[in-house]
Amino acid sequence: MKLKRLAAEVLIAALVFNMTACGGEEEKAEGTAVEENTKAADSGETSQDGQGGEAGAEATDDDDYKERAVEVDAGALQAASTAIAVGNTAVPYSEYKTYYYFMENLYNSLLGADVWKQAADETNTIGHEAIEDVLRMIIQVKVITKQAGRQGVVLEADEKEDADYNANKLFESLDPQIVKDDMINAPEMMKIFEENKLAEKMYNIVAGQVTSDQSATAVKLQQLFKAADDSNREQVRADMEKLQKKISSSDKSFFYHARLESEKPEIETVVGSLDARKNLLSAAQNGNIGTVSDVIEESDGFYIIYVLKREDEDMDTEYRNQVVSDEQVKAFQDAYTKWSKHYEVEVSDALLTE
């Protein structure tokens, strides 16, 4: 249990950044090898031939620099081979293998070893997609820690000590055969744990700049939604008016009708005073609880709602916390997108054929 918990620490941290750093719109890379064949480089330049050119930052100020990728190795990869390059940071194959071990160990315990052979789509297995996920994790952590270095953010002594302690504890618990097969070594394990700790610290710095509106309130409701645009808005409006009358006179619940008719999968939801849909918000705040609303027009389409609850302190607090969490993720996504543009990314073709 301890081994699995410690092994999961780095994976969970990396997954956090995999979800938060790349949840928004991604810019297309100038090259295609990593983006199209592995989808690993979420932004930044890549090249197909694996030739990174001269490494180094071409910087004139904090927002005008590009760090070229060092050359990655081709052919059979050894432990010290450069498998991934993020700017002038070379990632050895052994480090990639260690990250892959974290994920494989965690998911084997949950889903079994056979899961990696299952088809993910017509061309890829789950195991192949796992390689892409590991590449994303490594690239994102490297970009974030490189940016930490530019900003002078470092681990405090106790933070470094904690990361090293956990890394050594995990390393000492590993079976010698695993250490050999997965090319794991103690110094590299400590570096991985330290970098993930530093990436987490960078996330907290960015997230800590997001403030909350302590006066925000929420309404819990059920919704029936149909999308509309300029080409069909009046027809959808008419259809929703008929539907509203039908629901209002029905002996079946609003939820029953919403589940059948709504184009949003989420029927029960919470909206609040920070919501951009002002017409929907007004109807939710002022309509009678437990009654079917009139048709509500918004820019994305039309809504009919059924208010369940409002003026609830616990719900308001949960809503504020969720808004802050979403805004923190968005702030970090934006920051990461900006940072990643400065680093050319390359991945060895040998990884893509494993």
Residue 221, beta-bridge partner list: 269, 307
Q: Coil, helix or strand for 274?
A: coil
Most confident option among 44-58, 94-108, 182-196: 182-196
Diameter of the chain by CA atoms? 73
CA 107 to chain centre: 18
pLDDT, position 8? 45
pLDDT, position 61? 44
pLDDT, position 30? 35
Among 15-19, 100-104, 177-181, 328-332, name the one with the lowest average pLDDT.
15-19
How far, in Å, CA of 304 to CA of 288, rounded? Answer: 13
What pLDDT, in 10s, does the model give residues 174-196? 999 999 999 999 999 999 999 99
User: Is the model's pLDDT at 134 over the cut of 90?
Assistant: no
How far, in Å, CA of 267 to CA of 281, rounded? Answer: 16
The type of residue at 217 is: T
The rounded mean pLDDT for the chain is 81
Among 10-24, 196-210, 253-267, name the one with the lowest average pLDDT.
10-24
For residues 141-156, give the mean pLDDT.
Answer: 94
Torsions phi, psi of 215, nearest 5?
-95, -5
Residue 1 Cα distances to 9, 13, 81, 145, angstroms? 13, 18, 33, 29
Residue closest to 186 by CA, chosen among 174, 200, 198, 177: 174
Name the pTM for this structure.
Answer: 0.71
How far, in Å, CA of 132 to CA of 277, rounded? Answer: 37
User: Is the model's pLDDT at 252 over the cut of 70?
Assistant: yes
For residues 274-292, give the mean pLDDT.
Answer: 95
pLDDT, position 88? 95
pLDDT, position 145? 94
User: Is the model's pLDDT at 53 over the cut of 80?
Assistant: no
User: Is the model's pLDDT at 6 over the cut of 60?
Assistant: no
pLDDT, position 297? 98
